[in-house]
Amino acid sequence: MTAVLLAGTTSDAGKSILAAGLCRALTRRGLSVAPFKAQNMSNNSAVCPSGGEIGRAQALQAAACGLQPRVEFNPILLKPGSDRTSQLVVLGQAQGNVSARSYVEHRTHLRNTAAQALKQLEQDYDLVVVEGAGSPAETNLRDTDVANFGLAEAANLPVYIIGDIDRGGVLAHLYGTYHIVDPTDAARIQGFIINKFRGDESILTPGLDELRQRTGVPTIGVFPFIPGLWIDAEDSLQSIVGAPLGPPTTALGTSRLTVAAIRLPRVSNATDIEALACEPGVTVSWATDPDHVATADLVIIPGSKSTISDLQWLIDTGLAEVITDRAATGRPVLGICGGYQMMCATITDDVEHLSDTPHTPVPALGIFDTDIVFHPTKTLIRHDDGAYEVHHGQVSRTTEKPWIGEEGNRRGALYGTHRHGQLENDAFRRAFLRDIATHCGKGDTFIVSPNTSFNDARMAQLDAIADAWEQHVDIDALLDNIRTYRTRTQTTTGRTPTP
């Protein structure tokens, strides 16, 4: 009953994906493992069976452990709605909006919330793999830190620091992290991990030897760059606009389908498009170019954390006109959550978009004869098929026919739903692609794969990362160090965990 913290020298150093891989590797060894991230900042979220929401990275890590997501895996979630404010979600439930400055005032009690959640998980599982947030070297935030050394101190955790060598300067990042933090925090660092290495490792070895001489900390593993990791990306903004998502696939028929997903400024749950990219003959890419959107077989407007602001962005960029022209001529458009709301007639939002004229409907794209009104209480639903809903906006009036059960809208080649993850349902996705092919005049030439499994594709990527852990880290030694860390530190310092 213990835990280990994987921190990173920077954001996107590989913490999320390496934590998922370690979860998978240890689960395959027969341990009961749980993921944990005290504080996550992301608009990619998932809904737990209990009804609360957590960051999608922790939902992926739960899948790596063979678990359903639970709110304790990510007790604090910040969902940015602008550059200055975020929605604060605590133990799965929205608590209102906070600014960067006002959030600091919450951190003391939130650290207690996080530590208690971690303590509960340690009682329930053999090992908890804890993912840090951002960089632990932000000394200006140390006094109120929730997710890095503040948590490590509260729960007496061993810490391993991950550095991304693909960015350059990894030795300086690791050395600087060790030396800028307080010596009591630095003493918790048990090892360094190099991520995304390419080339001959022997050339790197002298640098790692010198790093150990200067810090006393060993490098426990050098992970190679693993090509083809793309499912459940933490941040869609890392994707290159116009570049295909995922690996290239060969069409089973004589035609392909092209999908343009609008990369909104405040896109949320961007992973909704990934299941389509797993299909042979389907080319999916993020788009901001009106010509790309005009010529694609299917256009997807994904979710948004700031629906009205992103709607205005569509109008300002000319994309709104292209989308409505497509709709008028019966060419396929799919809106998911916020994207669905943008396709409606009006949106009244006094929750995410505060204005000088409250309760005033804002004209939307007008594709569906449906009105949306935002409610203060967020809808959080996890459906039996794994799809889920996370939204404040509610349908207040519609003359349209529903699409999925009694939910959403469907008219010809126009589709709208509040459900995220629906396309991960293999049977549903195949039927949807057949419809799209028919509407595009490719019903006889585009062949839908009968056996593509999105879950298998996801697990294959998790297994690939777990394999890398087994190949490049002495996991037995790692586990031994994690198991004995608290005993050793309590003996030498007299300190005990203080969640």
CB of 417 within 8 A of CB of 426? no
In a domain, 40, yes or no: yes
Helix/strand/coil (H, E, C) string of the chain? CEEEEEEECCCCCCHHHHHHHHHHHHHHCCCCEEEECCEEECCCEEECCCCCEEEHHHHHHHHHCCCCCCHHHCCEEEEECCCCEEEEEECCEEEEEEEHHHHHHHHHHHHHHHHHHHHHHHHHCCEEEEECCCCCCCHHHHHHCCCCHHHHHHHCCCEEEEEEHHHCCHHHHHHHHHHHCCHHHHCCEEEEEEEEECCCHHHHHHHHHHHHHHHCCCEEEEEECCCCCCCCCCCHHHCCCCCECCCCCCCCCCCCEEEEEECCCCEECHHHHHHHHCCCCEEEEEECCHHHHHHCCEEEECEECCHHHHHHHHHHHCHHHHHHHHHHCCCCEEEECHHHHHCCCEEECCCCCCCCCCCCCEECCCCCCEEEEEEEEEEEEECCCCCEEEEEEEEEEECCCCCECCECEEECCEEEECEECHHHCHHHHHHHHHHHHHHCCCCCCCCCCCCCCHHHHHHHHHHHHHHHHHHHECHHHHHHHHHHHHHHHHHHHCCCCCC
Residues 391 and 266 in one domain: yes
Q: Are residues 273 and 161 in the same domain?
A: no
- For residues 418 and 408, what is the distance between their CA atoms, to the nearest angstrom? 6
Range of the domain at 148: 2-225+457-493
Is residue 33 located within the same domain as residue 98? yes
Q: Is residue 30 part of a domain?
A: yes
What is residue 496's predicted lDDT score, i.e. its pLDDT?
37
Q: What percent of the chain has pLDDT over 90?
A: 84
Whether residues 153 and 270 share a domain: the answer is no
When pLDDT is cut at 50, 70 and 90, the band that residue 281 belongs to is very high
Question: Within a domain: residue 191?
Answer: yes
pLDDT higher than 70, residue 237? no
Do 74 and 176 lie in one domain? The reply is yes
Active site residues: 337, 420
pLDDT of 22 over the 50 cut: yes
| Residue range 169-209, pLDDT digits in tens | 999 999 999 999 999 999 999 999 999 999 999 999 999 99
**Residue 242 CB contacts under 8 Å (≥ 6 apart), including other chains:** 285, 286, 287, 289, 292
Average of pLDDT values for 249-274? Answer: 95
Percent of the chain with pLDDT over 70: 96
Work out how many domains the chain is built from and give that number: 2
Q: Quick check: is 211 in a domain?
A: yes
**Dihedral of CA 147/149/154/157: which sign?**
positive
pLDDT computed for residue 234 by the predictor = 60
| CATH at 482 | 3.40.50.300
**Same domain as 401, residue 259:** yes
- Mean pLDDT along residues 256-281: 95
Q: How much is the pLDDT for 139? A: 94
Residues 248 and 357 in one domain: yes
The per-residue pLDDT for 499 is 34
Q: What six digits make up the tokens of 221?
A: 């593993």
288: its two tokens: 């901001």
Residues 7, 63 share a domain: yes
Same domain, 251 and 104: no
Q: At residue 387, what are phi and psi to the nearest 5 degrees?
A: -70, 160
Q: What is the mean pLDDT of the chain?
A: 93
For 352-366, 371-385, 426-440, 471-485, which range has the lowest pLDDT when averaged over its residues?
352-366
Beta strand pairing call for 370-382 and 346-348: parallel
pLDDT tens sequence across 92-112: 999 988 887 777 677 778 888
pLDDT exceeds cutoff 90 at 248: no
At residue 492 the predicted structure's pLDDT band, cuts being 50, 70 and 90, is very low
Record the pTM. 0.93
Q: What CATH number should be reported for the domain holding residue 350? A: 3.40.50.880
Residue 497 predicted with pLDDT over 60: no
